[in-house]
Structure 1
Amino acid sequence: MNQKGSTAEEWAAQFLQQQGLTLIARNYRCRFGEIDAIARDGTTLIFMEVRWRQRTSSLLIESIDARKQRCWWLTAQHYLARHGLPAHCRFDVLLLEGSHCHLRHWLQNVELGAFSRGSY
């Protein structure tokens, strides 16, 4: 990961904790892919994707293509199976922009597949 990506993920981790979430893992990797952050909100487990761009761009959302969504889903399933956790979870996306990681959007409980249908 490059330095800017690392900075964005660090900002995201701090932001999630400020929102009252408990950060469980960062950069969880398995053979299917990677999840940037995993957090808990009460009894809900959140699988978080962090997207950052230096300049404002609508391409932040489009960059989460069908392949990435499939990897995200499989990696989450791997995490749940490995840790024996309940399947009550959601997928969130933090969209950041600018050199200071300005929060553009926090998409909560996204439906995988919705990106390609233009729902966001």
Structure 2
Amino acid sequence: MTKHRIYTMTFASVYPHYITKAEKKGRTKSEVNEIIRWLTGYSQEELEAQIEEKTNFEMFFAEAPQLNSSRDLIKGVVCGVRVEDIEDPLMKEIRYMDKLIDELAKGKAMEKILRK
């Protein structure tokens, strides 16, 4: 079975799109970073290193220091698919991040995005 194309894409190639999506809706790069750090457990320095090293999505999540235990509270539809119904573990992690960025761009409060 071949890997999905997104697995081999670099996180650094998609990250600017997350920022652009958020900023178009009046949100900030620091909020995007906070969401990614919350989800993955990376520090800001570790996140920047992942971007600089052009780590692909597969390694980005494999090397994540501590995936947030509350991430299973993320529900909803991304790209026409319910995130809670995704069976592939890596695709689920990627879609969790997509969903959180979507919520940010839709104006949801950070406390709710971070499932506090």
Tell me the TM-score range normalised by the shorter chain.
under 0.3
TM-score, normalised relative to structure 2: 0.26
Structure (1 or 2) with the greater strand fraction: 1
